[in-house]
């Protein structure tokens, strides 16, 4: 039975319109917004750091939210989701809250998703409108922007950076400090240890094999934008130059917003960018530019 439950501890603030199941545990410095539902067996723990959950969120059952953490509005947590626990670092003192996690609105976390809090001065961050499929993981200090899809069984290591509209296939992996540019696509059972530039597709470990044509079209890209993206891919991966050696070719077209995005991305990639050997496998949403 779902029933409203008043705050019973100092520092716990539950909106009158929130619904807390009688078997849920809400403990410590916790704030729960209007019309949010905390289902059977859920734990909302503000004992290590504060927890703030916005309005219209749903914790279906047996989900755990551990502070310090802040969630926006209309997030959905399926059973066995664990948000905000300590980093998987044997040298980290789990009794310390640290910078915690900051999560936006309209995110869906399916069964078994885990997100660990930051261990630096900055929190682990997730933006808005992301869909985390079953048994996915985001490590400490990671940053995932908006409208991304993370496939089942995928793991994102600590300090990763994932830009808007990235799709990560099932059982894929991102190494610590790896980056995925806007609109990029990491195929299932593949991985990135360096940086995958915007709107490119990774088809195996660190192989940028093609352009995400379908993603570009779905995003509303113009024909000119698509052609410029294809040109950048060709300069980086189908010319006689190594990707870093191709930078002068891109800089010669500086001022074009599409090219400028690639220049900025490459310059910010301390680990280097993916290489371009290989081709997209049949069935991938891609185009070849040879």
Cβ(27)–Cβ(48) below 8 Å: no
Cα 226 from Cα 103, distance rounded (Å): 32
Residue 5 clears pLDDT 60, i.e. is over it: no
Output the pLDDT for position 290.
34
Name which of 22, 23, 26, 67 is nearest 43 in CA terms. 26
Q: How confident is the model at residue 6 (pLDDT cuts 50, 70, 90)?
A: very low
Nearest to 182 by CA among 237, 112, 234, 257: 257
Given a cut of 70, is residue 281 above it in pLDDT? no
Mean pLDDT of 174-200: 98
Q: What is the mean pLDDT of residues 243-249?
A: 87
Give 8's contacts (C-beta < 8 A, 6+ positions apart). none
> Which pair of tokens denotes residue 55?
């309005």
CA distance 75 to 109: 8
Sequence-distant (6+) residues with CB within 8 A of 61 are 39, 40, 41, 42, 79
Residues 6+ apart with CB under 8 A from 42: 21, 24, 25, 59, 61, 62, 63, 64, 65
Q: What is the pLDDT of residue 10?
A: 55
Q: How many angstroms separate the CA atoms of 167 and 244, rounded?
A: 25
Tokens coding 82: 């664990």
Arithmetic mean of pLDDT, 3-29:
82
Architecture in CATH for domain 2-159: 3 Solenoid (2.160)
Q: Provide the pLDDT confidence category of residue 185 given band limits of 50, 70 and 90.
A: very high
* 69: its two tokens: 């953490």
Asked if pLDDT for residue 32 goes beyond 90, the answer is yes
Paired tokens of 76:
């959905």
Nearest-5° angle of CA 44, CA 48, CA 51? 40
pLDDT value at position 77? 99
One-letter-per-residue 3-state SS of 76-119 = EECCCCEEEECCCCCCCCCCCCCCEEEECCCCEECCCCEEECEC
Question: Which pLDDT value is given to residue 278?
Answer: 58
Look at the chain and count its residues. 290
Percent of the chain with pLDDT over 90: 87
Out of 21-25, 26-30, 276-280, which region has the weakest mean confidence (pLDDT)? Answer: 276-280
Domain boundaries, the chain: 2-159
Q: What is the mean pLDDT of residues 44-51?
A: 97
Q: Once rounded to an integer, what is the mean pLDDT over residues 75-86?
A: 98
Q: Which pLDDT score is estimated for 287? A: 36
Mean pLDDT of the chain: 92
Answer for the pair 282, 288: CB distance below 8 angstroms, yes or no: no
Query: What is the 8-class DSSP label of residue 290?
Result: -
Mean pLDDT calculated for residue range 218-231: 98
Handedness of CA 254, 258, 261, 265 (dihedral sign): negative
């Amino acid at each position: 039975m779902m029933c409203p439950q008043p705050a019973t501890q100092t520092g716990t603030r539950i909106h009158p319109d929130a619904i807390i199941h009688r078997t849920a545990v809400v403990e410590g410095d916790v704030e729960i917004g209007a019309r949010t539902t905390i289902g059977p067996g859920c734990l909302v723990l503000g004992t290590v750091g504060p927890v703030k959950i916005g309005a219209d969120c749903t914790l279906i059952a047996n989900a755990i939210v551990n502070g310090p953490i802040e969630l926006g509005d209309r997030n959905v947590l399926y059973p066995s989701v664990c948000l905000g626990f300590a980093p998987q670092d044997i040298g980290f003192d789990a009794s310390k809250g640290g910078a915690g996690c900051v999560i936006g609105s309209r995110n869906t976390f399916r069964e078994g998703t885990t997100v660990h809090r930051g261990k630096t001065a900055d929190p682990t961050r997730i933006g808005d409108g992301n869909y985390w499929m079953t048994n996915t993981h985001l490590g400490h200090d990671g940053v995932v922007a908006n409208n991304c899809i993370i496939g089942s069984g995928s793991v994102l290591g600590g300090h990763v950076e994932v830009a808007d509209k990235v799709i990560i296939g099932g059982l894929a992996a991102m190494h610590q400090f790896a980056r995925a540019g806007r609109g990029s696509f990491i195929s299932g059972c593949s991985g990135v240890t360096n940086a995958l530039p915007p709107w490119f597709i990774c088809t195996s470990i660190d192989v940028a094999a093609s352009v995400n044509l379908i993603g570009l079209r779905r995003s509303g890209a113009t024909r000119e934008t698509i052609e410029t993206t294809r040109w950048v891919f060709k300069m980086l991966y189908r010319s006689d130059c190594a990707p870093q050696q191709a930078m002068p070719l891109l800089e010669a077209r500086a001022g074009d917003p599409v090219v400028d995005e690639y220049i900025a991305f490459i310059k910010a990639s301390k680990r280097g960018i993916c290489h371009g050997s290989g081709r997209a496998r049949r069935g991938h949403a891609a185009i070849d530019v040879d």
